[in-house]
């Protein structure tokens, strides 16, 4: 089952996008609908709300006066928290039921207004943010709902801002455009990314990569992308994991690189690495069998004991985001090397540009990603001595 979190500010177009994804074949779980159902007449949820907020939030027939409750909770954060403490556990139960009923092949779209506010992004394989500018959202809501401008503004103030949503978004969908344009983008997303992602996830296979290594300019969104991926990996690893760090070229600000995010998950032993394989695959990072040895360039101390140079290698099931996930024992030479090289390039502008020049030269001179990787190893074998020397001079120690 592929889990997509769908979010956006009030009136951004979540329900519209969810309906389009349902047409394409998604199973949609709508948190707003569940939140309404758990406060329906006769429910324990409504009784709890009446006890907490008093009769002023009930209509003449005993049902919930949603507008009255809305005025209270969107004017006062502590009252909103009190309401959420009643509704969210009940909504979570409903959601679990829907997820249980969706089959293993389902692409589930969980439409939740508060994914960013409640920091829920790591629960999903991808977070899709629907965006529309505040002016457009207000205009659309005034036209379609019985809400005043002040009601809408109060809710916008109670929600995350665009910057926070951008940092949480794996996919950013601009809905300031005519609906058919957005629907066309969703079809491309569905066929080009979500369907193959789900198929890879179920089969436990990685997504294809381009045959040639293409170096692209540094992308300022790489650290935020890495942080989202690391949160998913940490959640999947649970107590077996000792933290995931962003390593490799995309972790070095300013460095041009292949658009592949390298991450390193620390574990206490290779036995723990093997134990976490199933959970990592379910989170979208299947193990790639056959890659167990660390690259020779990582020989920083002594290669005498080959066991300490072993790692587990995982890669992305998502065709939209290439990831290399190196699972290494904390404190092992390979684990240290990945962090040392990253910190060396971050600290030393001359070495950083030498490395970038070498990568660009090799990418142009080689015909395949494999040939490129081999050629780069030869350069590393020499450069690593300089990294070690820098580490000694600067008193480098691995973070944490």
Ligand X SMILES: CC(C)(COP(=O)(O)OP(=O)(O)OC[C@H]1O[C@@H](n2cnc3c(N)ncnc32)[C@H](O)[C@@H]1O)[C@@H](O)C(=O)NCCC(=O)NCCS
Could you say whether residue 348 binds ligand X (CB under 6 A)?
Answer: no
Could you say whether residue 29 binds ligand ATP (CB under 6 A)?
Answer: no
Q: Judged by CB under 6 A, which stretch of 175-183, 193-201, 254-262, 305-313 contacts ligand ATP?
A: 175-183
Among 57, 182, 256, 298, binds ligand ATP (CB under 6 A): 182
Select the binding partner of residue 12 from ligand ATP, ligand X, none (C-beta < 5 to 8 A, by kind). ligand ATP
CB-based burial, 319-357: b 16+ in 10 Å, e otherwise: bebbbbbbbbbbebbbbbbbbbbbbbbeebeebbeebbe
| Interacting residues with ligand ATP between 30 and 69 (CB under 6 A) | 32
User: From residue 94 to residue 133, what is the string marking binding to ligand ATP with x (rule CB under 6 A)?
Assistant: -------------------x--------------------
Nearest CB to ligand X, comparing residues 81 and 268: 81
Q: Judged by CB under 6 A, which stretch of 63-71, 224-232, 265-273, 318-326 contacts ligand X?
A: 63-71
Select the binding partner of residue 381 from ligand X, ligand ATP, none (C-beta < 5 to 8 A, by kind). none
Among 125, 131, 137, 155, binds ligand X (CB under 6 A): 155
- Does 62 appear as a known binding residue? no
Could you say whether residue 84 binds ligand X (CB under 6 A)?
Answer: yes
Could you say whether residue 16 binds ligand ATP (CB under 6 A)?
Answer: yes
Among 11, 241, 284, 334, binds ligand ATP (CB under 6 A): 11
Q: Judged by CB under 6 A, which stretch of 30-38, 221-229, 351-359, 364-372 contacts ligand X?
A: 30-38
> Are 297 and 234 spatial neighbours (Cβ–Cβ below 8 Å)?
no
Among 113, 284, 286, 391, binds ligand X (CB under 6 A): 113
- Shortest CB 53 distance to ligand X, Å: 10
Nearest CB to ligand X, comparing residues 21 and 73: 73
Could you say whether residue 156 binds ligand ATP (CB under 6 A)?
Answer: no
**Positions in the binding site for ligand ATP (CB under 6 A):** 8, 10-16, 32, 113, 140, 144, 175, 178-179, 182
State the binding site for ATP.
11-16
């Amino acid at each position: 089952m592929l889990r997509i979190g769908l979010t956006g500010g009030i009136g951004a177009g979540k329900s519209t996008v969810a309906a389009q994804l349902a047409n394409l074949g998604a199973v949609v779980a709508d948190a707003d609908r569940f939140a309404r159902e758990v406060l329906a007449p006769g429910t324990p949820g409504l009784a709890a709300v009446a006890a907490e907020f008093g009769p002023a939030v009930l209509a003449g027939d005993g049902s919930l006066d949603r507008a009255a409750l809305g005025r209270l909770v969107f004017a006062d954060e502590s009252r909103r928290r009190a309401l959420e403490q009643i509704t969210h556990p009940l909504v979570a139960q409903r959601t679990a039921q829907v997820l249980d009923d969706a089959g293993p092949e389902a692409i589930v779209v969980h439409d939740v207004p508060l994914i960013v506010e409640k920091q829920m992004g790591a629960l999903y394989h991808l977070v899709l943010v629907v965006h529309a500018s505040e002016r457009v959202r207000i205009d659309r809501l005034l036209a379609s709902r019985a809400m005043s401008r002040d009601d809408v503004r109060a809710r916008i103030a109670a929600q995350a801002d665009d910057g926070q949503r951008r940092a949480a978004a794996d996919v950013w969908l601009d809905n300031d455009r005519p609906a058919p344009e957005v629907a066309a983008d969703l079809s491309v997303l569905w066929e080009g990314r979500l369907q193959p992602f789900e198929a890879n996830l179920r089969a436990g296979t990685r997504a294809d990569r381009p045959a040639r290594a293409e170096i692209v300019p540094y992308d300022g969104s790489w650290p935020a992308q890495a942080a989202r991926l690391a949160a998913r990996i940490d959640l999947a690893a649970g107590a077996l994991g000792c933290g995931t760090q962003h390593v490799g070229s995309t972790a070095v600000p300013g460095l041009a690189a292949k658009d592949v995010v390298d991450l390193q998950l620390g574990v206490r032993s290779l036995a723990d690495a093997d134990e976490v394989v199933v959970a990592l695959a379910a989170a979208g990072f299947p193990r790639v069998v056959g890659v167990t040895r660390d690259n020779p360039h990582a020989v920083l101390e002594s290669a005498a004991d080959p066991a300490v140079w072993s790692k587990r290698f995982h890669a992305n099931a998502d065709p939209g985001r290439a990831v290399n996930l190196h699972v290494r024992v904390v404190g092992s030479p390979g684990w240290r090397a990945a962090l040392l090289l990253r910190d060396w390039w971050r600290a030393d502008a001359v070495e950083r540009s030498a490395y970038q020049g070498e990568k660009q030269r090799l990418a142009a001179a080689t015909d395949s990603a494999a040939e490129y990787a081999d050629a780069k190893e030869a350069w590393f074998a020499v450069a690593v001595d300089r990294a070690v020397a820098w580490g000694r001079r600067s008193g480098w120690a691995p973070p944490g």
